[in-house]
Structure 1
Amino acid sequence: MIRSIALIFVPLLTGAAAPAPDPAYDIVIRGGRVLDGAGNPWVAADVAIADGRIVRVGVVDGAGKQEIDARGRYVSPGFIDMLDQSGRVLLRDGSAASKLRMGVTTLIAGEGGTAVPAGEIAGYFSKLEQQGIAVNFGTYYGAIQARVKVMGDAAGAPNEDQLRAMEGEVRTAMKAGVFGISSALIYSPASFQSTADLARLAAIPGKCGGFYATHMRDESDKLLAAIDEAVTIGERSGAKVEIFHIKAAYAPLWGKLMPQAIARVEAARARGLDIGANIYPYRAGGTGLDVTVPTHVFAKGREAAYAAVRDPAVRKQLKKELAAGPQADWSNLVHASGGWQNVVLANAHNDRYRQFHGKNFAEIGKALGKDPADAAWDIWLAALPARAGALYFLMDDADIDLAMKQPWVSIGTDAAVSDSTADPARAGRPHPRANGTFPRIIADYVRERGVLTLPDAIRKMTGWPAQRLGLADRGLLRQGMRADVVIFDLATIRDRATYEEPTAVPEGIGDVIVNGVVAVAGGQVTGSRSGNVLRHPCPNA
């Protein structure tokens, strides 16, 4: 009896150890304050990840191949950028470093359309997957893409055959997996599309839970009419409506337009329209200098417009239109900003004018001995075929705060990912939203000013947009969901990008996980390519 007991304990007496069990999980995030993305208060919990999904939230006993200490930090779903501009850049550079550093794990692009024609979208998606992208990516297809293919870039109403051809393009795009159609009606030739034509095209995504997503016809003095048009298109077509970067971009009516705009959206929602909006947290918008030219100039196409604006006699008339303020068919952003002193050159795409980056056009005009309009139009034409860009200081902080509080508003950067293949000397002064938007929401709107609670801010950036998009397995930190995760320090998170230093990297975001793979570790981008192309199902388009 004694001998047999001794034999049982021989391994222990000789110092041999039992083999360590294999790790139970790929990643375990330990001891963080977990925000689930649905707007609930944080809970203290571990998060276990395996095979790209969250398998446990709570006390996790098993080990992970990777262990992340999140004590004292917050753990949330990865952020969703509802207005991304990366469709072309990702073909050249899939690293998405600037978005990852902001905690963004999913991009929804396509305000101006897809990077390729409708018939090439399926192949485009496959190419992104084959090359590898660091974030998840989905897109809309531009209604203007269908129009230009069928009838060019001039003004005019399409006939029935042309409309049917446009519908064919939209069907092809929807079958490839886009989330719906988009419009950017402030720009020509999109501005030539009618409400009825857009409603007809939007009916195709409307059959399968898709979107009509719109940069509306006007965001200034005619904002309310523009919202009414978007609502009409949604109600006629059956499509969900997403308003891009909602704003009251008209200095004379700051404090008045935004409450009325919100009431319009609320009334539509009360009637049963699935309508929402996204926003960026900055006073300035950013777009091309071409918007300083009245829409009618582009009626015969862009090449004809370029020739017209080179004519001094035409310019004389255009300056009168600029000075006259609002017009029925054109958003006069110079007037809406309060004058050329509030329009700042961001990128001239021309070495001759690079010295004026960051200067307003009152200053530029004075330096060149020109009317500010002449300076702007000379820079615009000199940049072709590139698009000279400017910052337009259009918004009021109180209006932004009010819009931000609305439960149906999500967050979008209106910016592309950084492009490592581009010449940094050609970058100009891009909008700081490209590098600061999401950290700015938490640092300024939550921590510093209390405009939003932290759980609601996270909901706006995660659970709410995922629910809108129909991404049933993303946007929440719950068992079975895709493991898109961001870990940040509430005390130190902040945006460092400014109008003067727009590419400064944010602080306070330590770790980012995309589909169960660490994409940012200790604030450093790892070079992973674990992103997925997101396709909206529409087999019966």
Structure 2
Amino acid sequence: MSYILIKNGLIYDGSGEPPYQSDILIEGEKIIDIAPDIEHENAQVIDASGKAVTPGFIDIHRHCDIAPFTNPHFGEIELTQGITTTFVGNCGLAPVPSVPSWRKELYDYLEPVIGRLPEDLAFETYEDYTKALEAADLPVNMGFFAASDSIKVALKGFGSKAYTEEELEKAQEYVKDALAQGAFGITLGIMYQPECYSNREELTAVVQAAAGNGGVLCTHIRGEGDSLVESVEEVIDVAAKAGVPLNISHLKSTGIKNWNSKIFEAIQRIEQARESGQDITADFYPYDGGSTTLQSLLPPTIMEESFEALVKGLSGPEGKKRLRSELNKVHQGWDNMSESIGWDRIIISSVTLEKNAFMQGQTIGALAEKLGYEEPSDLVADLLVEENGKVGIIVLSMSQQDVDAVARLPFTLLISDSLYGGDGKNAHPRLLGTTARFLNDFVIKRKVLSMEQAISKMTYQPAKRMGLEDRGLLRSGYLADVLVFQPESFLDHADYTGKHDPCSGMDLVLMGGKRVLSDGNLVDRTSGKLLRKGFK
């Protein structure tokens, strides 16, 4: 059996308690002792003097669903951030289940979010997906959720019609199948097509299929701007009636007029529900901008029976005219970002055609003016048609004060919400730098949180939310997912202007007691495992 002895480190154990000086002894894949002045004659000694020693970071919200099969950089951008465990199937979006009749449209729809899927890479069932992940060389640990948007696409495509009774039963069976394969719960993407058409009763019925196994509902709410409070109330109600714990994904308030107001109303609703005994947490990312798809900016009335028809419906003068008209209307429960933040705060981040590559990194407002468009929405229509809907965007939609308010809450945890679409050259900086930015900006520079609080939001709190009983803390008997780094030297190097370098300063990453990153360099890409709830 191999032994590793980490000496003289400042231990942030993940609990949120103040750090302490100590040594850590690892045998095989587990921590076996934490105490001062440990000696072991057979151990490989790592001197952590002047450095922090923490549990591996856990990011429960990335969109790297197919990265193990398609992305040659998968592992590098995660481990240089200290991320040892991640979860996929978020926002109701996943490549599974993919039925032949809707596979191409589903893959086109998902491409800006999870990346390009070859059509021969097909996961019709959750068993197909888990077998593929089990067979893959995983650089990080991965867990997964049942993704309800993709389930609805498999059963009835992208249209606006509600489930029939028979279809609802099939949707519930898909959820149960995912749980039987080890899913950690279910995700909703109520902002996205086709789930944006689902009412509260339908959502509750689907989520109820996940009740009773200890899994959690993680949900992208219906609206994060004008309808934020109502959208938070909706998912609180769905979770309560379905009988499942709730985690609200990337809790935030978008739209300039909503800054410094709506978020506090939403927090109040969450706190009231928690005080009444409901199990609710939320997560956030440490940026004042988010990322999504250009298609998500379209009013729900623009959506057609299929993704393909949606794109075709935007072509020509009539398509542009219709989009202009619908953007000028008020749609109940839908947040109009073109109005709430403006085209000058919406940046093109990914396209698929070489001729449009110059647009990446520029705002829609600036591009429309440069290219001679009378209305920015006309550019949106043309671009979606040319790119077959496969366009990613960054939206500078938030107030830093609001982000800080969410970060300070005792029941929130850190995520990245990283998208893997496009070539990565103009990706949102959170893909590459979330954890380092969080510590550097929120702790060291602005002192929004203490170091121990911030570490807990990346380790124990996400582990607890997901029910990971042997990760997230530095404790004897826990798996040895361990980081060693100097916090002041752990830096992010990605921004909105086109700088997309990975983090620097992560000295050592151990996963299950194996050295996977040393002095910022990957030394092992195969030590990750597929995490399956209820499986040993």
**Normalising to structure 2: TM-score of the pair?**
0.91
Checking the alignment, whether the CA contact within 8 Å between 2:14 and 2:474 is kept in structure 1 is yes
Checking the alignment, whether the CA contact within 8 Å between 2:96 and 2:150 is kept in structure 1 is no
Checking the alignment, whether the CA contact within 8 Å between 1:129 and 1:533 is kept in structure 2 is yes
Q: Distance in 2 between matches of 1:220 and 1:104?
A: 30
Is 1:537 the counterpart of 2:515? The answer is no
Residue among 305, 311, 314 paired with 1:306: 311
Checking the alignment, whether the CA contact within 8 Å between 2:68 and 2:136 is kept in structure 1 is no
Partner residue in 1 for 2:415: 412
The structural deviation recorded for 1:329 is: 4.1
Deviation digits for residues 197-238 of structure 1 (CA, Å, limit 9, x no counterpart): 121121122211112211110011000011011101110011
Whichever residue aligns with residue 96 of structure 1, its letter is: G
Partner residue in 2 for 1:87: 65
Is 1:220 the counterpart of 2:225? The answer is yes
Partner residue in 1 for 2:520: 523
- Listed as ranges, the matches of 1:274-313 within 5 Å are 274-313=279-318
Secondary structure class of the residue paired with 2:5: strand
Q: Distance in 1 between matches of 2:535 and 2:487?
A: 40
Checking the alignment, whether the CA contact within 8 Å between 2:208 and 2:242 is kept in structure 1 is yes
Q: Distance in 1 between matches of 2:184 and 2:347?
A: 34
Deviation digits for residues 80-117 of structure 1 (CA, Å, limit 9, x no counterpart): 10211111111234851101000000001111444332
Is 1:384 the counterpart of 2:388? The answer is yes
Is 1:204 the counterpart of 2:182? The answer is no
Partner residue in 2 for 1:98: 77
Checking the alignment, whether the CA contact within 8 Å between 1:37 and 1:458 is kept in structure 2 is yes
Q: Structure 2: any 5+ residue segments left out of the alignment?
A: 98-122
Checking the alignment, whether the CA contact within 8 Å between 1:517 and 1:528 is kept in structure 2 is no
Partner residue in 2 for 1:433: 430
Residue among 256, 261, 264 paired with 1:251: 256
Moved more, 265-274 or 471-480: 265-274
The structural deviation recorded for 1:538 is: 9.1
Partner residue in 2 for 1:442: 439
Moved more, 82-91 or 217-226: 82-91
Whichever residue aligns with residue 115 of structure 1, its letter is: P
Moved more, 150-159 or 53-62: 150-159
Partner residue in 2 for 1:136: 141
Q: Structure 1: any 5+ residue segments left out of the alignment?
A: 1-23
Moved more, 471-480 or 120-129: 120-129
Partner residue in 2 for 1:19: none
The structural deviation recorded for 1:25 is: 4.7
- Listed as ranges, the matches of 1:340-355 within 5 Å are 340-355=343-358
Partner residue in 1 for 2:125: 120
Moved more, 474-483 or 51-60: 51-60
Whichever residue aligns with residue 281 of structure 1, its letter is: P
**Normalising to structure 1: TM-score of the pair?**
0.90
Runs of 4+ in 1 over 6 A off after TM superposition: none
Whichever residue aligns with residue 41 of structure 1, its letter is: P
Moved more, 462-471 or 308-317: 308-317
Checking the alignment, whether the CA contact within 8 Å between 1:114 and 1:139 is kept in structure 2 is no
The structural deviation recorded for 1:416 is: 4.9
RMSD over equivalenced CA pairs, Å: 1.9
The structural deviation recorded for 1:304 is: 1.9
Is 1:493 the counterpart of 2:497? The answer is no
Deviation digits for residues 153-176 of structure 1 (CA, Å, limit 9, x no counterpart): 211122211111111111111100
Checking the alignment, whether the CA contact within 8 Å between 1:348 and 1:428 is kept in structure 2 is no
Checking the alignment, whether the CA contact within 8 Å between 2:50 and 2:486 is kept in structure 1 is yes
Q: Distance in 1 between matches of 2:475 and 2:94?
A: 32
The structural deviation recorded for 1:311 is: 3.8
Secondary structure class of the residue paired with 1:45: strand
Q: Distance in 1 between matches of 2:136 and 2:177?
A: 23
Q: Which has the larger radius of gyration?
A: 1
Deviation digits for residues 420-447 of structure 1 (CA, Å, limit 9, x no counterpart): xx9xxx4341000001100111101000
Aligned length: 507
